[in-house]
Structure 1
Amino acid sequence: MRDMSQVLDLWGAWAASDNSGVDWQPIAAGFKGLIPHGKKSRLQCCDDEGIKIDACVARLKKYKPDECDLLIAHFVIGVSLRSIAKKRKCSDGTIRKELQAAMGFVDGLLCMISEGEGYILR
């Protein structure tokens, strides 16, 4: 079983890099003013893996836009879960549950892709 937090952290670095070609907003909805990762050097996934995960995150955005914004804020921009909870005026636990649900959604879609069911992302 893969560590989705690590997978999404690598994807976040890939999506945030200047050469990824992905057009995620630099500031997720409602998170303006929070501290981003900056230009630190981060390990990235390869382009093939980044494109697969990006497609899964795009599908998440279609069904659960708030959870998608949370993924982007945390893994691409680098906003801490505590800062997100403070901004949304809720507990850290609530944010962690939302993040776990979003990560599970992406993991499920990646499992479908790896089994040859790529049509699910169309």
Structure 2
Amino acid sequence: MLIDIKGILRFWGYSANGRLGTEFPCVAAGMKPAVSASNHRILRLTDESIFEIDRCIKQLKEQEPQQYEVLIGRYAARVSDTQIEKVLGISHATFLRELAQAEMYVLGVVVGLKLALVV
């Protein structure tokens, strides 16, 4: 089973910044019939899974602060990559390496704890 860690972290980021469920609908009520249905599945996480990922990311902050900053900037704050690089004073290659390592750290927790993913 392939796990989309970027999708998991994207969903976690929505819940981490407190915006989940607060946006207005993307289509006005009267326009709903004009929009075609999508075949895409939306990944969701259980509350317990979100708490476990939160705990994992807090541990990452203690062990690898730069990876934590890159992960939070990308997924929770949704800041552009160049802004993150500028604030942290790192190159693009370093940014990509730190992001990949942080994502793999979280993936290890997801796989190791067999977190519940709802598709």
Regarding TM over 0.5, the answer is yes
Relative to the length of structure 2, the TM-score reads 0.68
Percent pairwise identity: 26
How many matched pairs? 96
> For residues 78 and 18 of structure 1, do their structure 2 counterparts lie closer, same or farther at Cα, with a shift above 3 Å needed?
closer
> How far off is 1:46 after superposition?
3.4
Q: Distance in 2 between matches of 1:67 and 1:103?
A: 9
Q: Contact 1:8–1:75 (CA<8 Å) still a contact in 2? A: yes
User: Gapped runs of 5+ residues in structure 1?
Assistant: 20-38, 116-122
In the alignment, which residue of structure 1 is the partner of 2:64? 64
Runs of 4+ residues deviating >6 angstroms: none
Q: Distance in 2 between matches of 1:45 and 1:15?
A: 12
In the alignment, which residue of structure 2 is the partner of 1:7? 8
Relative to the length of structure 1, the TM-score reads 0.67
Q: Contact 1:81–1:96 (CA<8 Å) still a contact in 2? A: no
SS in 1 for 2:59: helix
Higher relative contact order (CA 8 A, sep 6+): 2
- For 1:19-44, what per-residue CA distance to the aligned partner results, in whole angstroms no more than 9, with x for missing partners? 8xxxxxxxxxxxxxxxxxxx756x86
Q: Distance in 1 between matches of 2:52 and 2:19?
A: 18
User: Gapped runs of 5+ residues in structure 2?
Assistant: 25-41
1:106-117 equivalent positions in 2, closer than 5 A? 106-114=106-114
Report which of the two structures shows the higher radius of gyration computed on alpha carbons.
Answer: 2
**RMSD of aligned alpha carbons:** 2.6
Aligned partner letter, 2:9: L
